[in-house]
Amino acid sequence: MPYTPPAGNAVDFSFQGEAAYTAPAGNAIDFSFAASGVSAVIADGYTPADALIGKHGVAAAIADSYIPSGAQVARHGISATVADSYVPLDAISASFGLEFIATIADGYVPVDAIVASHGIAAVVADSFAPADALVASRGVSAVVVDAYTPADGLVAVHVVAVAIADSYTPADAIAAQHTNLLTELPSALDNYSAPLVVTVSQSGDYSAPLVVDVDYPSGDYSAPLVVTVTQSGNYSAPLVVSVLGTSKRWRDKVLLAGVDVSARITGEVMDEQNEGAAHIASFTLLPASGSINPYSYVGAAVTIDHIRIESTGEIALRRFTGKVHIPQYNPVDRTITFTCTDDLQNRCAALDRATLDHITGGRYSTGVQGEQENNWAYAQARMETVAGSLDAGRDGGLRVTNWDGLPVWKTFDLTNTIEGSIGQELPQRGNLINRIDATFEYRFSRLHRRTCNLRYEGDMAVIAANALPLLAQATVEAALESTGWEFFYGDGFGGSSGAGSALFAAGGEPVTPRINYVPYPEVYNLPGGAIWYQNETDTTCLGFQAGMYKRWAQSVTETYTLTVLAPESITQNGEIRREERGSLASEWDASAWENDRRAAPVLNSGDWYQTQDYAPDAGTAARDAAIQTLVDLCVVKIKGTHRSGRAWATTLMDTSIDVSRAIRINTTKVKATGKVVKVRNVSNSDKDAGYATTEFHIAPSGHGGIGLPEVTPTPNTPPDAPVAAAPASTVRSLFGQSLGMHVGGLASSQMPQDPDWRGWIVNVQGSLNVSDPGSDAPIINAETQKTERVLVNDPYSGGTLNPMYVAANAYHNTGFRAVMPAIEDDTRDNIAPAVTKTYEVPISADELELAA
Amino acid sequence: MATDIEIFHDAGGTSPVTSENPLTAEPDVGSAAAGQQKWVGSIVDGIKHRRKTLPGTNQLQLSVADASGASGLAVTDVRFALTEAGLPSATWGAPLNLGVEILSGVANLVPYWYQVKDSAAAVAQYADLSFVIIDVRDDPV
């Protein structure tokens, strides 16, 4: 594609096989990385300031008039032909070119000319006389003509064939380098002509054989052997499929301890299921004559089948599977009545809690349901949070059946029920609960830590001028200790700048607190030439910086008021309210933590203040789980009370009716659908009886209302816990304090004394101790006419009144006073933040229609 | 040696299927769409059940075996699904994949549903069908 030079530059060049090149602004020609080689033809009028004719294989033909100031004629394998008039200042005619042929015209006289380098063939014309000419390097064939007389000429480097004309007389000429045959030109030699052959030294890889003898290994070998015994095989489970006919013939089959005792049965055989309870049964048999031991039957396995006698054979339908609970002998009629159970309670009690969790689902929290004495009670506790029932099927399998959402198993009407057996009972309002106010309390310790950085700096000029007493370090420490705050020790957590992450130093108690004292100077020059000095630097301080902290525990009892309600029922029936409670408390000893600075948790976040709720034995996860348990318990309780209505009917014995089913009763007078809550099968094959019936009860759920707005159940998520407030700004402002001096007893002293002053409160001294050694002067003795030193001032030692002292302005309360940030009452005292949340519960509206 | 894998009547593994307490079905009784849920696995400790052939790759399968061939019910009178909702679209007689591995323990019991076709079979009680899991290998975990 044709290259379009920038405006104002008369250069026309074209790229060979490359995309159009656009030179950067400000450069007349700029080539970069023209892989295929650029051919540039520069017109006669082209006079760039800094001309880069070409790069990377550019063929540039520079016209006669080309006179760049800083011209890079060519680089990287450029073929450049420089016209006679080409006179660059810093001309790099070519560099890095495998084949650079530079023909420099006679007029070429660069100042510092690199005519060629890196394989360039440069032909320097006669007039070429650079000051520092690098004629050629790295394989350049340079032909320097006679006039070539560089001052410091590097004529050729790296395999250069240089033919230097007779007139070549460089000052320091390196004719060639890196050659085996190097002929170095003398510093001055006339008519020098010497061929130069440069040979690159040989190179290659060296290889010397190495023979290593490896002896065969020897020793004992041992490898562990792991034997895994597996078993394999096929599993088969029998399937019994009963295709029932219409026969009304039947019989009972009772197995007692594996023995068929059907023939001895007398009277009713009864089995009854109630949702959430054990399946019970009873039968009476007439034992064979002889001694009997009813108690030998306790725990014996019992199965009761209802046998349908079809034309094709007998079909056994299981009614009951369990064991003997109580055998009762009646000596009057010599019968034994066996009361049996499917042993639901004992079976659950024997299971581990993980299995019960798996079976029941639900939730459990000791904070809501307390400790359970056995696993049956534990299972019941979990079921308090499940809107369903736990019981066992006829096959003995433990199952949980939800109250809602069951498909209708069968529909009964007047054609398949015993006449007059259909009945119903509406729920009583008094049995309803449609609102529960649940209160949950969660008690734990809230740990606080605050840091205060104190800085005091005395005014040396004031101190010295007024001869104030020295501030003792002990005074400072006593004042700081009296605040009740703790010092930092060693690398105790840094709070001086609000940052840092050091921990308490490990090991025993350190000796001294970390207070950085600023000592008094030993000498201080007062105006007028007086000198103040002191020698108590180890026990006094001009200033100090100390970090202090305080940590304490606060008892917090979060109080959650959880309102669980059924809006539909409230609308229809009015609010019927109950209460529930739950609580969870941490027993962790906060006082022990307060008294031991090293006790965990350390609270070393490095901030000015840190608050951490701490309850290692009853954390927030347990709290949330307890809240959710309490809510579920309330939901289930509300839902359960809305299932108190009943509808029932009796049909010929139907062993498929089970408390895990839902049944519909459909008559003109009563229409009801609901989960079966009770099944009672009774049969009597005595000659004067002969009946086998099944009575079932269903529990339609409902709120009694019609057309009420649908309620969306509120997800059972715990409410957000209350958050501890940050310290007030007035408190935070005292986390870093700069304390000053308050000097009393001067005319300028601030009056009256402010009781809230902090820092060093000191009075100037009313009197000063003076120790004057006296002074003498040279005086000529009138008698002897000799110079003698005579005492002119008597020595004096004693007290003298301080003329600066103003007694009326002396402060009454002096000393060092430090005041730490106040701890707010609601940060120290027990608190009970309250949280409320409402949960709405929809009530399933099962079919229940009555007609007169 | 046999395998410890078995079918249970409940999720807690408390009531295994036995000859005295077999799987049952009354296909012409109750809701036509109703199936029954059972659980497959084992309650022994530290066992993994896999297919003996290419263990860990081949699926353990629950299928129906017919002991009587031409008489009684047929394998195609039963269908399986891993969920109750999957029963209506399940293929009659097709085996059910239970996974390439079942770990022992109550928590690992695999629930499944089965349904027996309300066919035109004669009134009778049929015991020619059984549910089988063949080619099972038990290894320690």
Minimal Cβ distance to B122: which of A243, A351, A395: A243
Interface test with B, best of A227, A229, A230, A239 (most B CBs within 10 A): A239
Is B14 within 8 Å of A398 when comparing Cβ atoms? Answer: yes
Give the nearest chain B residue to A352 (CA atoms): B12
A61-65, A621-625, A626-630, range with the lowest pLDDT = A61-65
Alpha-carbon gap, residue A353 to A342, rounded angstroms: 20
Radius of gyration for chain A, computed over Cα atoms and rounded to the nearest angstrom? 55
Q: Does A361 touch chain B (CB under 8 A)?
A: no
Average pLDDT, chain A: 77
- The whole-number pLDDT of residue A626 equals 97
| Token pair 């799987």 in the structure block, residue | B23
Length of chain A: 852
Q: Which has the higher per-residue pLDDT, A464 or A220?
A: A464
- The number of angstroms, rounded, from the C-alpha of A738 to the middle of its chain's C-alpha atoms is 38
Smallest CA-to-CA distance from B83 within B113, B109, B110 is with B113
**With a CB-CB cutoff of 8 Å, which residues 544-563 of chain A face chain B?**
none
Contacts of B95 (CB under 8 A, 6+ apart): B61, B62, B63, B64, B80
- The whole-number pLDDT of residue A187 equals 36
State mean pLDDT over A213-221.
67
Tally of CB atoms within 10 A around A469: 14
Torsion angle of the four alpha carbons A162, A163, A167, A170, in this order, in degrees rounded to the nearest 10: 10
Nearest Cα of chain B lies from the Cα of A232 at a distance, in angstroms, of 4
Q: Which has the higher per-residue pLDDT, A801 or A16?
A: A801
Alpha-carbon gap, residue B93 to B73, rounded angstroms: 11
DSSP 3-state of A817: strand
Interface test with A, best of B24, B116, B136 (most A CBs within 10 A): B24
Count of A-B CB contacts under 8 Å: 183
DSSP 3-state of A718: coil
Residue A119's pLDDT band (cuts 50, 70, 90)? very low
Q: Which has the higher per-residue pLDDT, A764 or A221?
A: A764
**With a CB-CB cutoff of 8 Å, which residues 611-670 of chain A face chain B?**
654, 656, 661
Q: What percent of chain A lies above the pLDDT cut of 70?
A: 71
A253-267, A571-585, B113-127, range with the lowest pLDDT = B113-127
Alpha-carbon gap, residue A726 to A744, rounded angstroms: 39
- The whole-number pLDDT of residue A769 equals 78
Most confident of A158-172, A180-194, A260-274: A260-274
φ, ψ of residue A465 in degrees (nearest 5): -65, -30
Interior/surface letters A745-767, b for 16+ CB within 10 angstroms, e for the rest: bbeebeeebeeebbbbbbbbbee
pLDDT of residue A655 exceeding 60: yes
Average pLDDT, chain B: 91
Is B25 within 8 Å of A242 when comparing Cβ atoms? Answer: yes
* A773 close to A646: Cβ distance less than 8 angstroms: no
Smallest CA-to-CA distance from A760 within A453, A460, A452, A451 is with A460
A70-74, A240-244, A623-627, A711-715, range with the lowest pLDDT = A70-74
Nearest Cα of chain A lies from the Cα of B59 at a distance, in angstroms, of 14
Nearest Cα of chain A lies from the Cα of B119 at a distance, in angstroms, of 9
Alpha-carbon gap, residue B140 to B103, rounded angstroms: 10
Interface test with B, best of A228, A229, A241 (most B CBs within 10 A): A241
Minimal Cβ distance to A235: which of B6, B19, B52: B6
- The whole-number pLDDT of residue A489 equals 64
DSSP 3-state of A565: strand
* A704 close to A725: Cβ distance less than 8 angstroms: no
Is B1 within 8 Å of A312 when comparing Cβ atoms? Answer: no
pLDDT of residue A843 exceeding 80: yes
Alpha-carbon gap, residue A391 to A216, rounded angstroms: 74
How would DSSP label each residue in A253-289? EEEETTEE-GGGEEEEEEEEEETTS--EEEEEE-PPS
Alpha-carbon gap, residue A381 to A747, rounded angstroms: 82
H runs (alpha helix) in A748-836: 825-828
- The whole-number pLDDT of residue A289 equals 87
Give the nearest chain B residue to A247 (CA atoms): B123
Q: The whole model's pTM is what? A: 0.70
pLDDT digits (tens, 9 = 90+) for A326-378: 999 999 999 999 999 999 999 999 999 999 999 999 999 999 999 999 999 99
Interface test with B, best of A228, A243, A383 (most B CBs within 10 A): A243
pLDDT digits (tens, 9 = 90+) for A571-617: 999 999 999 999 999 999 999 888 877 788 888 776 788 899 999 99
Give the nearest chain A residue to B19 (CA atoms): A238
Regarding an ipTM greater than 0.90, the answer is yes
Give the nearest chain B residue to A316 (CA atoms): B125
- The whole-number pLDDT of residue A490 equals 54
pLDDT of residue A63 exceeding 70: no
- The whole-number pLDDT of residue A796 equals 78
Is A231 within 8 Å of B1 when comparing Cβ atoms? Answer: yes
Minimal Cβ distance to B27: which of A243, A354, A409: A243
Alpha-carbon gap, residue A646 to A638, rounded angstroms: 17
Interface test with A, best of B3, B5, B7, B10 (most A CBs within 10 A): B10
A85-99, A196-210, A259-273, range with the lowest pLDDT = A85-99
Minimal Cβ distance to A239: which of B3, B30, B129: B129
Chain B residues close to A241, C-beta within 8 Å: 24-27, 73, 77, 116, 121, 125-127, 129
Residue A58's pLDDT band (cuts 50, 70, 90)? very low
Tokens of A645: 């209505």
Alpha-carbon gap, residue A622 to A664, rounded angstroms: 43
Smallest CA-to-CA distance from A643 within A369, A432, A794 is with A432
Q: Does B97 touch chain A (CB under 8 A)?
A: no
Minimal Cβ distance to A395: which of B9, B122, B123: B9
Nearest Cα of chain A lies from the Cα of B43 at a distance, in angstroms, of 11
φ, ψ of residue A174 in degrees (nearest 5): -105, 100
Minimal Cβ distance to A231: which of B3, B34, B132: B3
Nearest Cα of chain B lies from the Cα of A716 at a distance, in angstroms, of 25
Chain B residues close to A355, C-beta within 8 Å: 12-14, 106
Strand-pair category, A265-274 with A670-684: antiparallel
Partners of A59 in beta bridges:
A39, A79
The CA-CA-CA angle for residues A18, A19, A25, to 5°, reads 120
Q: Which has the higher per-residue pLDDT, A509 or B127?
A: B127
Is B3 within 8 Å of A408 when comparing Cβ atoms? Answer: no
Most confident of A400-404, A499-503, A524-528, A534-538: A400-404
* A122 close to A135: Cβ distance less than 8 angstroms: yes
- The whole-number pLDDT of residue A281 equals 97
How would DSSP label each residue in A455-508? EEE--HHHHHHTTPPPPBHHHHHHHHHTTTPEEP-TTPPP-SSS---PPPPSSS
Chain B residues close to A356, C-beta within 8 Å: 12
Nearest Cα of chain B lies from the Cα of A348 at a distance, in angstroms, of 9
pLDDT digits (tens, 9 = 90+) for A810-826: 999 999 999 988 888 88
Contacts of A773 (CB under 8 A, 6+ apart): A795
Alpha-carbon gap, residue A276 to A274, rounded angstroms: 6
pLDDT digits (tens, 9 = 90+) for A672-717: 999 999 999 999 988 888 899 999 999 999 988 877 888 999 999 9
Q: Does A234 touch chain B (CB under 8 A)?
A: yes
Interface test with A, best of B3, B19, B23, B29 (most A CBs within 10 A): B29
**With a CB-CB cutoff of 8 Å, which residues 270-329 of chain A face chain B?**
303, 310-318, 321
Give the nearest chain A residue to B73 (CA atoms): A241
Q: Does A398 touch chain B (CB under 8 A)?
A: yes
**With a CB-CB cutoff of 8 Å, which residues 21-80 of chain B face chain A?**
21-31, 33-34, 52, 64-65, 73, 77-78
Burial (Cβ within 10 Å: 0-12, 13-18, ≥19) of residue A703: buried
- The whole-number pLDDT of residue A46 equals 42
DSSP 3-state of A296: helix
Give the nearest chain A residue to B132 (CA atoms): A236
